[in-house]
Amino acid sequence: MNVPSSTFDFLRALKENNNREWFQDNKETYERARQNFIEFAQLILTGLSSIDKRVPEDMPVSKCVFRIYRDIRFSKDKTPYKDYFSSAYSTHGRTTNLPGYYVHIQPGKSFVTAGLWHPDKEELAAIRQEIDYNSEKFNAIINDPTFKSTVTLDQEDKLKKAPSGYLVDHPDIEFLRLKSFTASHFIEDKVLLSNRADEEILKIFSGLQPFLEFLYEAVDQED
């Protein structure tokens, strides 16, 4: 299945007309685009439940798809709507503190991510400990040719110094400084417009299973 070109057209128009009046005038177009994305998200959910048994096969897709409405209460950007569609998958859908998967559809800026974004203090400490104890395993995962050619380990969000309990010259200090452990793949519009869009995304997520398993094991040990 693909993401229809009409969905991209709607998101482009929304970006240029991000206000309530335009949105209400184009509500039917939005509803069609949203329904298309929900159907696409359901295919991803079904496929993921086969790849990762921690993702429930019978979970309603509504628990995975994010609303298009922005929370502007504490934001300087007061535009009321997101100019993208997105969904997240885990044992509990889009809301969880466990490793999972994320799909982001935005013209020219689409990507998929897997891992654990901004884990809480205890989980972050557990992941760092797992990297420290099993450095060889972690490095084998992220240096695997398939991993390196498919995704990028996100490193934008990190501490400026070594985390407490670790030396600044630790051989894995660059990873231990991370505050999120996610791997991303940016997807061109033409891929999403093709009839194999869902298969391409699931192929990426399937290849990330060793990375997810490493995170699962780290967090599980914390329980």
Summarize pLDDT for 162-177 with one digit per residue, the tens.
999 888 999 999 999 9
Dihedral sign computed on CA atoms, order 118, 116, 188, 31: negative
pLDDT reported for residue 188:
96
Q: Is the pLDDT of residue 18 over 90?
A: yes
Of the candidates 155, 183, 97, 165, the one whose C-alpha atom is nearest the C-alpha of residue 125 is 165
Here the CATH number for the domain that contains residue 135 is 3.30.930
The model scores a pTM over 0.75: yes
Q: How many domains does the chain have?
A: 1
* Strand bridging mode 152-153 / 181-187: antiparallel
Range of the domain at 209: 5-222
CA 57, CA 49: separation in Å to the nearest integer? 5
Least confident among 46-55, 76-85, 126-135, 180-189: 76-85
Q: Give the tens place of pLDDT for each residue, 86-142.
A: 999 999 888 777 899 999 999 999 999 999 999 999 999 999 999 999 999 999 999
